[in-house]
Structure 1
Amino acid sequence: MCGIAGVFGTPESNMEVKKMLAALGHRGPDACGIYTAGDLSIGNTLLKITGDMPQPLTGKGALVLNGEIFNFLELAAEIGMKTDSDTELLFSLIENRVKEGSTPIDAVCSVLSKVNGDYALAYACDRELVLARDPSGIKPLFYCSGKGDEKPEIAFASEKKALAFIGRKAKPFPQGGILGFNTESGEITEKIPEGYLKIKSPEKRLYAEKEALSHLRLALEKALELRLTPTAGIAFSGGIDSTFLAALAKRIDPEISLYAVGLPDSHDIAQAESAAEAIGMKENLKVHFLSPEEIEAVVPEVIYATESTDPMTVAIGIPLYIVAKTAREDGKRVLLTGQGADELFGGYRRHEEFFEKGPEVLDREIYSDLEKISKINLERDDMVTMASSVELRVPFLDKEVIKTGLAISPELKVLKKNGYYTRKYILRKVAEGLIPPEILWKEKKAMQYGTGVQKVLDRLARDSGFSKKQGSHIEKYFIQIASEKNFEFMNE
């Protein structure tokens, strides 16, 4: 939806926030705003999707929000409020709590306990700055805090590079975290609101397949419906996750566009074309054929966007970066992906190994995957899509889908029968009737291999003089590019 940034504790806070917002301009090309009170400044660069409400919103306090509150219409109806802006609704709820006597952090906690959304936000009021991030870490947030020369300081931004541009070293704000910073004492308070979703054990387990299917189907249908907009498209590889999303979306919007990328002879292009035809969406599919020259050209852009020279981060980021760019050129502002399905439903080969050690071991691994998904996957995906001002939405990480998925028995996620494993079994069963069997039960290659990107990167690294035999040749190639482009934040 946008980029947010803020600084407290320096006389230059307004100027520093302006610099950070300039670095975040790609995240919000539609508007830019700053609120300043003394040594505190918070700001926003806006990408208009839901409503048309400039930020920061101000009243007793001030709010900036990056993300979407998907159930805002339900929450607005509960208090009799008419609005087309999720940000206005969220601000109103928080302000009402503060006016009733709640501290700013308690007000934010209370409101977020009712929210189903993807967000990173900052709320400033009464000498307190509150930062919060959604439970899965779908929206990125980085921050740093410490003691200045005369008073405590804190700074935050949607991307690490923005903080690096004002000379600050940043760390990721924890997914699901809520933090209150006292602007007088520098004291930091962390809270978990009652009923708020952290990655935790479900109250009830779903062991019966029929019951699990019913609950999961309803949760997924609702999650997708909440995330569809007239400007949405789907990143489409032809695997079960994206094909299932496409088949569900077709019921709501038969014209929704599917975007696939890959080298002309790649596995993913063939798979995407086959899957789109199988679900009757051949005309919806828009294919972008990659070339080695295009891949080489975007490598620096993806390194910059992801703030990383990690080979896997960049290799996976390249296809999604180009998908988002293609979708944006086609007029889209939202891109749906199947991210989270493998983590929640046991889709990786290593999940078979954990299941072999016992269902409870697989259960623990799935929890671990979800607790790390922001750092491993979501921050990368958000940054490569928002580089083209396209908002990432991930229905499989909807609050209710996660709750349902965690409740489902691990024996229904990885099924072993006659010595063979079926990963994501329960998800495949939910998709029966929407996806033909030849697509439904087929395994899929990882994106960097399926699109052919990995082979091109291997050749580019070798052509640049880095020996594969000496190891880490692709990473050395990326580091060289980052150095040549003077990406100073890479050293932070």
Structure 2
Amino acid sequence: MCGILAALLCGGSPEANRRSVLRATKLQRHRGPDASAVYQTAKGNNLFAFERLNIIDPSDSGKQPFILERPQGRLVWALNSEIYNHEAIKADQLAGVPIVKNSKSDSAIIGHMYEKMGGGPELWNALDGIFACVLLDEATGDFTVARDPMGICSLYWGRGQDGSYWFSSEMKGLQHACVSFGYFPPGHVFSSRTGQMERFYKPVWAEPDYHPTNALDLTAIREGFITSVVKRLMSDAPLAVLLSGGLDSSLVAAVAVRHLKEAKNTYSTNKRLHTFSIGIEGAPDLLAARSVAQHLGTHHHEFHFTVQEGLDALYDLIFHIESYEQVRAAVPMYLLARRIKALGIKVVLSGEGADEVFGGYLYFHKAPSPEEFHKETVRKTMRLHQWDVLRANKAPFAFGVESRVPFLDRAFLDTCMTVDSAEKMISMADRPDGKHPRMEKYILRKAFDLPHDPYLPDHVLYRQKEQFSDGVGYDWVNGLKAFADKEVTAEMWESRQSRFPEHTPTNKEYYLLRSMFEEHFPSKSALDTVPKGLSIACSTPEAISWDPSWAGSHEISGRAMRNVHESAEGFAHNTARAGPPSAAAQLPSNDAVEATMMAAATAVSSAEAVLPDEASKAPAEEKVIKRTASGRRIGSGIQHWAPRMSIDINGDGDESARHSFDEDSGEEEEGKPVVETDAYSRLGTDVSHFAPRYSSDMEATAGNGSLAHLAPRLEPNAARRAAARRPAVAAASIRGSQPQVEATDRGQDGRAAAYKDPFGTDVSHWDASSRLSGDWATAQDAEGIDTSLLSAVAKLRLAPGDEADPEAPEAPFEHFSPKVSKEHPVSLSVDGSR
């Protein structure tokens, strides 16, 4: 995948044409940070620019644009693609044909296929994958342009003042060069020879008069989806799954894990799958994702963001996604993509498309008939290139991360969209299996409901649909609405009609986002690329007619579905009146599901984590979960920040009813802080990976309301500050009964110490002049964070040629116990010195 740009039939001088192309392609260089290239024909009037993201064949033989030398003239093409059947095509249609540059890139086959088939529908229908292609035949001067059936790869086109044709992966590459532009329609091919745009993707299920009647085949759905996921594991670069803990992303991860373990896909560089989740602390998705990651055994990474961080990202985010729609969901994906790329991941799989194909949005509960149900799924699916697919493509690509969507596989769509739509209808009173209600996406759930060979735990397989923008934390949507209500004054709102005469915003949130959009993209051409119309819980405008109470609504959150969403009560709808949002943020009320997820999530904070034996002593039945007004889950009556935490023995919230135990003897001690863990502090902070040791000395700092001296990811700002201002060189020394040893962490230069705990927590910003004083360490890190309760037991990863200390603990920071054990030797090394 990459960023492509082509300027054809330009009327300027060769030098001016090249300058224009270089200026335009620079605006989308984030799509291809690995390499850039420009090709210009001999006359200087046709140019290609390519921004490369190395995924398949990262060698120079995969560099584009591709040029096929022929006696009659060159064939030149640039392709943004993942062609999953390219090896089969080479073995079949191109058997014996020497591939250009002997390249193993999937994109290299296109010119040879053009030579054999021409540039019409036959060529593009032969490709199984996603693509946006511009091809120039220098022998004739003709050019051909095509985009994949569902528009997964973004592509825009426009006309210059001189009559030139421009094509670009992103709109921002065209707006300064073209007098008019728009998106290139998915599933179409344009030929300059005929001047015609031709539709090559014509699924029968999308025809206006089609009514699906195929019998339900759960095996076909399951096997079709497995095939779709496996083919998308094709990569010469590290890949991962975006895991929200909902049904769709969890199924993607479950299938990927099985096939990577069995090494059935020979392309992928992964053997153990990485999964990523993001949310505001205490968000529903974070807890669910942890539970799924533990079940699947993935290498799970969890990141938090705050409402303010999301608001700070709005302006840049809109520049990248080129829309003021999908912003709520795009912001957390944008923030997460940056963290993903920092870890070296270039490809992610995600769950977009399932809700459109199976009718998973909560408003489908109100579908009046199977016929209307099917029509709405067709509308939603065929318009995805302007909605979720646009977000899934452009938000990660802001940082050079490619997103793949298995639910929108062409063959899988044909299987699912031709099933009798009566099978997809929702009826919560109906329990066909005697256990589970016929909820949204019921047939997809049943396809993977295999008690003898479960892909997912039951509580995940039958979790209610939670839209991504809600699942990352209800405070995010509420905070965005409150921010818009503050920023858009009464005077601004009253003049909205004159400010935005076309597609006037219906609420203050859209006024704010539209204003940011027009700062980046002020032209009417840009505005016309954004879809219009009212929506309720992500419906199309046409579905508004399903319920008279929806008239005039424009609230895309699933919580707008009263009597359907488990947390709809008290949620403020966005309407043209644009009233202030609700301050209350509710969590789902399914306590049985929540308790199961909590038990799984508290066991480990990542798939690799293994807590010390003591941490498992707290009986699960003693756990009591309470809620604050903001909806955060909390541990019951925690009175201090000891890593092992309190249980409300009586279950009634009485702060005085406590038990405590001596850590070593297991006997009760009078007046000591309570122990045992249920893995959540009273602020809703996840502390499930804390070491079980504690000290009564912690009472001295019990009331300061801060967790800053514990692992940095638990303090809302420490890890973020560390990432932004990590010192290049941080000196560290530990003194005490051991000989003085000094070490230096040199940041990212390859000689850095491995400052991570067993659960993957980054502690590399801890500098620390640490001094042992008696049995306790006193220290502050480079940012002034109190680290005096951290264990001084530490071992830095040995430099090449050094010898390990056989008596040193095996983990870099074995745990974050506040109890310092002098009997453990300290071993530090840098550059081979001890």
Give TM-score scaled by structure 2 length.
0.53
Paired with 1:275 and 1:332, the residues of 2 have a C-alpha distance of 20
Q: How far is the alpha carbon of 1:167 from its aligned partner?
A: 4.5
- Cross-structure match for 1:386: 397
State how 1:21-36 maps to structure 2 within 5 Å: 21-36=25-40
Aligned to 1:300: 315
Q: d(CA) in 2 for partners of 1:412 and 1:61?
A: 49
Q: For 1:304-345, what per-residue CA distance to the aligned partner results, in whole angstroms no more than 9, with x for missing partners?
A: 1112334xx211110111222221111111111110101111
Cα offsets for 1:52-105 (capped at 9, x unmatched): 3111111231110112101111111113367521111222222344xxxx4xx3
Q: Does 1:455 align with 2:478?
A: yes
Q: Which residue of 2 aligns with 1:155?
A: 166
Task: Quote how far apart the aligned CAs of 1:34 are.
Answer: 2.2
Distance 1:121 1:197, change over 3 A: farther
Out of 476, 480, 486, the residue aligned to residue 511 of structure 2 is 476
CA distances 1:355-381 after superposition (whole Å, capped 9, x unpaired): x3x222222221111211111221222
Q: Deviations over 1:441-478 (max 9, x none)?
A: 12132111221221231233344364699872223333
**Equivalent position of 1:120 in the other structure:** 132
Question: How far is 1:45 from its partner?
Answer: 0.9
| Cα 1:406–1:309 shift into 2, 3 Å | closer
What's the counterpart of residue 487 of structure 1? 520
The SS at the match of 2:318 is helix
* Residue identity in the other structure for 2:405: V
Higher strand residue share: 1
What amino acid sits opposite 1:61 in the alignment?
L
CA distance in 2, matches of 1:127, 1:236: 47
Task: Give the distance between the partners of 1:221 and 1:203, measured in 2 at CA.
Answer: 27
Residue 141 of structure 1 is matched in structure 2 by 155
User: Partners in 2 of 1:369 and 1:375 — Cα distance?
Assistant: 10
Aligned: 1:413 with 2:424:
yes
Distance 2:150 2:517 in 1: 29
Q: Decide whether the 8 Å contact of 1:176 with 1:198 is kept in 2.
A: no
Residues 121-200 of structure 1: matches in 2 within 5 Å? 121-125=133-137, 126-145=140-159, 152-182=163-193, 188-193=195-200, 200=206
Match of 2:65 among 50, 53, 56: 56
Match of 1:226 in 2: 231
Which protein shows a greater Rg?
2
State how 1:260-279 maps to structure 2 within 5 Å.
Answer: 260-277=277-294, 279=295
CA contact (8 A) 2:242 2:275 kept: yes
Q: CA RMSD in A?
A: 2.6
Shift of 1:145: 3.5
Higher helix share: 1
- Structure 1 SS opposite 2:192: strand
Summarize the Cα distance change of 1:469–1:264 in structure 2 as closer, same or farther, 3 Å threshold.
farther
Query: 1:23 deviation in Å?
Result: 0.8
Cα distance in 1, alignment partners of residues 516 and 251 from structure 2:
38
Query: How big is the shift at 1:121?
Result: 0.6
CA distance in 2, matches of 1:55, 1:31: 10
Give the corresponding residue for 2:371: 360
The verdict on how the C-alpha distance between 1:404 and 1:332 changes in structure 2, with shifts beyond 3 A counting, is same
Letter in 1 for 2:66: L
Matched residues, number: 466
CA distance in 2, matches of 1:490, 1:153: 19
In 2, the alpha carbon distance for the partners of 1:170 and 1:204 equals 36
Letter of the aligned partner of 2:317 in structure 1? V
Of residues 74, 80, 94, the one that matches 1:66 is 80
Distance 2:206 2:224 in 1: 18
Q: Please point out which of 452, 457, 461 is paired with 1:436.
A: 457
In 1, are the aligned partners of 2:3 and 2:52 still within 8 Å (CA)? yes
2:49 matches 1:43 = yes
* Closer/same/farther in 2, CA of residues 296 and 45 from structure 1, 3 Å limit: same
- Residue by residue over 1:372-392, the C-alpha shift from the partner in whole angstroms, topping out at 9 and shown as x without a partner, is 111122122211110010011
One of 198, 214, 218 as aligned partner of 2:219: 214
Cα deviation, 1:223-280, whole Å, max 9, x if unaligned, reads: 1111113511111110000111111111122511111111111121122223333x33
- What SS is found at the alignment partner of 2:293? helix
Could you tell me which amino acid in structure 2 is paired with residue 374 of structure 1? H
Is the CA contact 1:25–1:45 (under 8 Å) kept in the aligned structure 2? Answer: yes
For the pair 1:345 / 2:362, whether they are aligned, the reply is no
- The alignment partner of 2:417 has SS state of helix
3-state DSSP class of the match of 2:455?
A: coil
Give 3-state SS (helix, strand or coil) of 2:481's partner.
Answer: helix
How far apart, in 1, do the equivalents of 2:245 and 2:477 lie?
Answer: 19
* Residue aligning to 2:7: 7
Distance 1:469 1:127 in 2: 52
Paired residue for 2:22?
Answer: 18
Cα–Cα, structure 1 residues 415 and 457, in superposed 2: closer, same or farther, change >3 Å? closer
Q: Which amino acid aligns with 1:319?
A: P
Match of 1:375 in 2: 386
The one-letter code of the counterpart of 1:487 is: H
- Alignment-derived partner of residue 788 in structure 2: none
Structure 2, unpaired ranges of 5+: 69-73, 262-271, 431-436, 495-505, 527-834
**Distance (Å, rounded) in 2 between the aligned partners of 1:219 and 1:258:** 23
Distance 2:390 2:522 in 1: 16
Question: Mean alpha-carbon deviation: is it higher for 337-346 or for 441-450?
Answer: 441-450
Aligned to 2:687: none
Secondary structure, aligned partner of 1:62 = strand
Q: 1:383 to 1:199 in 2, by over 3 A?
A: farther
- Which of 245, 248, 265 does residue 255 from structure 2 map onto? 248
C-alpha separation in 2, matches of 1:340 and 1:171: 23
For 2:346, the equivalent position in structure 1 comes to 333
- In 1, Cα distance between equivalents of 2:399 and 2:176: 20
2:180 is paired with a residue whose SS is coil
- Hey, what does 1:289 align to over in structure 2? 304
The verdict on how the C-alpha distance between 1:203 and 1:87 changes in structure 2, with shifts beyond 3 A counting, is farther
Contact 1:135-1:199 at 8 Å conserved across structures: no
In structure 2, distance between residues paired with 1:344 and 1:479: 29
Match of residue 427 from structure 1: 444
C-alpha distance in structure 2 between counterparts of 1:260 and 1:487, whole Å: 29
- Consecutive unaligned residues of structure 1, counting only runs of 5 or more, are none
8 Å Cα contact 1:143-1:157 kept in structure 2 = yes
